[in-house]
């Protein structure tokens, strides 16, 4: 059968091409299939941390039940297969990456061990932990000192070679690392981003000594200012690139055997996709990329619904992630911390995370009730899963309180054990604290909900955003059960629970753009001097040459790709930069003045009116380039709105308990039978096969044409 011949899904529609997104989380692996008519099919399976590819295969097979076609037939029609994975994140957390050797300039062997100020010890962990100086330990370095070698060479700040590379001693150092069983090599020399000669020569020598080494040069991975950060980025990439390369190769091979003819594209923390062949250079960019898929989906759905300001909240089995989209743009970080003391110089969408998910464990110190950050994960999971878990979790509390139907979890494919949930909460929480079962369960629910509300406040209010000016998107399998209550203290007026709420990150992965990013530090005054404009143009042209080479390698044509130039600027003497777009036309005499005005406007927008310093010189620190191939996934198609009456979807009534052992009688609706236009008044529970939405007494919920549930609190005079 040719690629152009259509196949028929279970509803009889003829489909030619499909787009698939897969997101591997700590508890579930999610799959979204978008067909060329803009319709969605999705499902999930339990994650398999010991071999994530098994979870991917299981989720794909489950999804095929929704289309009633063989997996091989559907994979043969895939136009784009995209994957967000936690493989790199888990390898970093568990310290199970490659055995890395580090080569640096002699005299600077301790850079990654010493760090820079408190960076190497206190950043990248929760504030409460970072402030506990007595009990906070410096993290174990990714490269032990015995695998670090210094070589004789020196490049000056201006790029001039001060001391030539001593090749004989350098070769001896590389041979020593080979004898010590190093699998991957990181090479990071002082000021190498100003002059790459010595690093590239060391790379040639390393490949001659061991052709199996994955050689990571800082001038390729992170040619940016900041010795500690550049070293850590190169080391992290060396640590993860063999792991990610092996995983993506194995996944590609397994899927090819099932019928996939397209390359698997991997989600990056920048919000774009990259090819498996790029893992040697971009492995570090996959860390913490999973939650970013949700922001990508939120921006796309927000655009469809007419929302430019969106707070994103993703509550899964392990964590609660919050992001902000302001005026249609993500918040960006250029040097995020991906673990304690581990900064990486990689553009990333800002997502803030706490350990508050459905699997978060409730525990007592004998005086107080705590929830998280520890999680029961997928194995053994909450006590009610029946997989051997004995610790009480948020999911157990939802079962005990009546918010979750034990017989309809996972669409009825998994029955929960309410007896095990009650026993776990009684034994580990209620009895130690002298509480009743319902008081303990309601306390778990209220504490985790308050934690989520506090995190949203921190991400918004502390950054100068007013939550009342935003719409809140609540997704993740566990989020809809809490969203009405964690948004209420913030004054959020409208909540959207997407149709694909439980697999929303996978939907974002499926519809993401292909994005390559390039950067090079070249500190330059922002002022008109002889040769300045020509110098700017040369730097951008060098980045564009790299971009076009990667575009060609990926099989894309130039007319599919949009190039965007950006620059990082700061006042001289400052430590932090701000990024502005810089079009080709902006680099002229008048453009330099406009760039200064734009910088000062953005500066005052972030730090307050009157904070700019018009008398101070400005310098460009880094030149950046983005190569973007916009997604070719079809747009979602809305359905016609029907009557508001939801009664045809009414299943039953169920009692739910809130704090103070206050029982409320909730009408229970089958979310799969609610049609666009239906309006549900609280108190109610809307059960979909993969999530349950709690509609409190003063709220109402309405389905839009895309089957999203729009939730808002009733006002005086309202329903």
Main-chain dihedrals φ then ψ at residue 80, nearest 5 degrees: -150, 125
Among 47-51, 201-205, 257-261, 494-498, whose mean pLDDT is lowest? 47-51
Please answer whether residues 666 and 656 qualify as being in contact, where contact means their C-beta atoms are separated by less than 8 angstroms.
yes
Mean pLDDT (whole number) for 279-284: 86
Distance CA 227, CA 115 (A): 10
pLDDT, residue 378, reads 67
Q: What is the pLDDT of residues 74-114, one digit of tens each?
A: 898 888 899 998 888 888 878 889 999 999 999 999 999 98
Mean pLDDT (whole number) for 253-275: 89
Distance CA 159, CA 718 (A): 69
Q: Which two tokens stand for residue 526?
A: 């922002």
Q: Which two tokens stand for residue 11?
A: 């509803």
> From the DSSP assignment, how many helices (H) and strands (E) are in the chain?
20, 37
pLDDT, residue 13, reads 61
DSSP-derived pairing of the beta strands 264-267 and 78-84 = parallel
Model confidence band, residue 203 (pLDDT cutoffs 50, 70, 90): very high
Is the pLDDT score of 3 beyond 60? Answer: no
Closest alpha carbon to 565 in 582, 543, 547, 585: 582
Q: Which two tokens stand for residue 606?
A: 């972030």
Residue 628 β-bridge partners: 515, 562
Is the pLDDT score of 12 beyond 70? Answer: no
* Domain 513-629: assigned CATH number: 3.30.1490
Q: What is the pLDDT of residues 577-626, one digit of tens each?
A: 888 888 877 666 677 888 888 898 888 877 888 888 888 999 999 999 99
Is the pLDDT score of 719 beyond 50? Answer: no
Pairwise pLDDT comparison (317 vs 198), residue with the higher score: 198
Distance CA 224, CA 205 (A): 24
Pairwise pLDDT comparison (667 vs 380), residue with the higher score: 667
pTM: 0.86
Is the pLDDT score of 718 beyond 60? Answer: no
> What is the chain's mean pLDDT, rounded?
88
Are 7-91+246-286 and 513-629 in the same CATH fold?
no
**Buried/exposed 259-274: b ≥16 CB within 10 Å, e otherwise:** ebebbbbbbbbbbbbb
pLDDT, residue 521, reads 93
| Chain center to CA of 679 | 33
Q: What is the pLDDT of residues 389-431, one digit of tens each?
A: 899 999 999 999 999 999 888 777 788 999 999 999 999 999 9
Q: How many CB atoms lie within 10 A of CB 11?
A: 8
Closest alpha carbon to 689 in 671, 709, 714: 671
Is the pLDDT score of 384 beyond 70? Answer: yes
pLDDT, residue 51, reads 85
**Packing angle, helices 394-401 and 418-425, rounded to 10:** 110
Main-chain dihedrals φ then ψ at residue 704, nearest 5 degrees: -90, -175
pLDDT, residue 236, reads 96
* Domain 7-91+246-286: assigned CATH number: 3.30.420.40
Q: What is the pLDDT of residues 112-157, one digit of tens each?
A: 998 877 777 777 777 767 776 677 778 888 999 999 999 999 999 9
Residue 256 CB contacts under 8 Å (≥ 6 apart), including other chains: none
Is the pLDDT score of 7 beyond 70? Answer: no
The second-level CATH assignment, the architecture, of 97-239 is 3-Layer(aba) Sandwich (3.40)
Element (H, E) at 693: strand 691-695
Closest alpha carbon to 185 in 194, 193, 176, 174: 174
pLDDT, residue 128, reads 67
Is the pLDDT score of 502 beyond 70? Answer: yes
DSSP-derived pairing of the beta strands 342-343 and 337-339 = antiparallel
Mean pLDDT (whole number) for 650-662: 87
pLDDT, residue 18, reads 86
Distance CA 192, CA 108 (A): 13
| DSSP assigned state of 393 | B
Residue 23 β-bridge partners: 30, 84
Q: In terms of C-beta density within 10 A (0-12 exposed, 13-18 middle, 19 or more buried), how is residue 479 classed?
A: buried
Computed on alpha carbons and rounded to an integer, the radius of gyration of the chain in Å comes to 27
Report the half-sphere exposure of 450 (CA within 13 A, side-chain side). Answer: 9
Is the pLDDT score of 1 beyond 50? Answer: no
pLDDT, residue 717, reads 38
pLDDT, residue 641, reads 92
Is the pLDDT score of 9 beyond 70? Answer: no
Closest alpha carbon to 686 in 487, 484, 491: 484
Please answer whether residues 216 and 278 qualify as being in contact, where contact means their C-beta atoms are separated by less than 8 angstroms.
no
Q: How many CB atoms lie within 10 A of CB 223?
A: 22
Q: In terms of C-beta density within 10 A (0-12 exposed, 13-18 middle, 19 or more buried), how is residue 689 classed?
A: middle
Q: How many CB atoms lie within 10 A of CB 181?
A: 9
Percent of the chain whose predicted confidence (pLDDT) is above 90: 53
Dihedral through CA 208, CA 211, CA 213, CA 215, nearest 10? 50
Distance CA 535, CA 481 (A): 56
pLDDT, residue 478, reads 87
Mean pLDDT (whole number) for 634-653: 90
Is the pLDDT score of 10 beyond 60? Answer: no
What ranges do the domains of the chain cover?
7-91+246-286, 97-239, 513-629, 647-713
pLDDT, residue 716, reads 38
pLDDT, residue 291, reads 86
Closest alpha carbon to 713 in 23, 425, 701, 704: 701
């Amino acid at each position: 059968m040719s690629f152009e011949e259509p196949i028929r899904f279970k509803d009889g529609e003829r489909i030619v091409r499909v787009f698939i997104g897969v997101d591997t989380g700590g508890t579930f692996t999610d799959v979204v299939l978008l067909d060329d008519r803009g319709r969605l099919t999705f499902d999930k399976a339990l994650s398999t941390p010991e071999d994530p590819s098994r979870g991917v295969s299981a989720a794909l097979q489950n999804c095929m039940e929704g289309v009633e076609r063989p997996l091989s037939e559907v994979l043969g029609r895939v136009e784009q297969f995209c994957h967000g994975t936690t493989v790199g994140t888990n390898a970093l957390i568990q310290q199970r990456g490659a055995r890395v050797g580090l080569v640096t300039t002699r005299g600077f062997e301790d850079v990654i061990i010493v760090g820079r100020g408190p960076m190497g010890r206190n950043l990248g962990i929760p504030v409460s932990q970072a402030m506990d100086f007595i009990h906070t330990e410096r993290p174990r370095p990714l490269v032990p000192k015995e695998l670090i070698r210094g070589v004789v060479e020196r490049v000056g700040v201006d790029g001039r070679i001060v001391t030539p590379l001593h090749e004989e001693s350098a070769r001896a150092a590389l041979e020593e690392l080979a004898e010590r069983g190093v699998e991957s090599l990181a090479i990071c020399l002082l000021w190498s981003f100003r002059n790459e000669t010595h690093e590239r020569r060391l790379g040639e020598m390393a490949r001659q000594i061991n052709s199996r080494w994955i050689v990571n040069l800082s001038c390729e991975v992170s040619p940016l200012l900041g010795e500690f950060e550049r070293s850590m980025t190169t080391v992290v990439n060396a640590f993860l690139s063999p792991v990610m390369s092996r995983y993506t190769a194995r996944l590609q091979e397994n899927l090819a055997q099932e019928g996939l003819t397209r390359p698997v594209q991997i989600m990056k923390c920048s919000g774009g996709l990259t090819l498996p062949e790029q893992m040697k250079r971009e492995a570090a960019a996959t860390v913490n990329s999973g939650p970013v898929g949700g922001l990508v989906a939120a921006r796309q759905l927000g655009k469809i619904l007419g929302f430019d300001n969106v707070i994103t909240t993703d509550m899964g089995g392990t964590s609660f992630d919050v992001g902000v989209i302001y005026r249609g743009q993500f918040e960006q970080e250029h040097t995020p911390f991906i673990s304690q003391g581990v900064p990486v110089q990689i553009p990333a969408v800002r997502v803030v995370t706490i350990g508050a998910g459905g699997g978060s464990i409730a525990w007592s110190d004998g005086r107080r009730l705590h929830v998280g950050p520890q999680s029961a994960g997928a194995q053994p999971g909450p006590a009610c899963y029946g997989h051997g878990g004995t610790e009480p979790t948020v999911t157990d509390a939802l079962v005990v309180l009546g918010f979750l139907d034990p017989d309809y979890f996972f669409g009825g494919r998994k029955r929960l054990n309410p007896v095990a949930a009650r026993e776990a909460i009684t034994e580990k929480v209620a009895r130690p604290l002298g509480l009743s079962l319902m008081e303990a369960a309601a306390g778990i629910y209220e504490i985790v909900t308050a934690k989520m509300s506090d995190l949203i406040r921190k991400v918004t209010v502390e950054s100068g955003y007013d939550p009342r000016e935003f719409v809140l998107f609540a997704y993740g399998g566990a989020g809809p059960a809490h969203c009405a209550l964690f948004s209420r203290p913030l004054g959020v007026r409208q909540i959207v629970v997407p149709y694909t709420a439980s697999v929303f990150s996978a939907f974002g992965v499926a519809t993401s753009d292909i994005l390559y990013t390039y950067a090079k530090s070249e500190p330059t005054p922002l002022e008109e001097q002889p040769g300045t404009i020509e110098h700017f143009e040369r730097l951008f042209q060098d980045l564009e040459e790299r971009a076009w080479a990667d575009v060609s390698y990926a099989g894309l044509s130039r007319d599919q790709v949009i190039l965007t130039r950006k620059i990082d600027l700061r006042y001289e003497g400052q430590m932090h930069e701000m990024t502005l777009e810089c079009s080709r036309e902006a680099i002229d005499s008048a453009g330099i003045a406009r760039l200064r005005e734009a910088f000062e406007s953005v500066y005052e927008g972030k730090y307050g009116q009157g904070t700019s310093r018009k008398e101070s010189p400005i310098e460009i620190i880094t030149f950046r380039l983005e190569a973007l191939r916009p997604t070719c996934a079809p747009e979602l198609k809305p359905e016609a709105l029907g009557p508001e009456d939801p009664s045809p979807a009414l299943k039953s009534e169920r009692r739910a308990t809130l704090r103070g052992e206050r029982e409320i009688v909730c009408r229970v609706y089958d979310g799969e039978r609610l049609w666009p236009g239906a309006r549900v008044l609280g108190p109610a529970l809307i059960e979909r096969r993969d999530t349950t939405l709690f509609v409190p007494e003063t709220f109402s919920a309405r389905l839009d044409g895309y089957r999203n549930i729009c939730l808002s609190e009733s006002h005086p005079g309202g329903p």
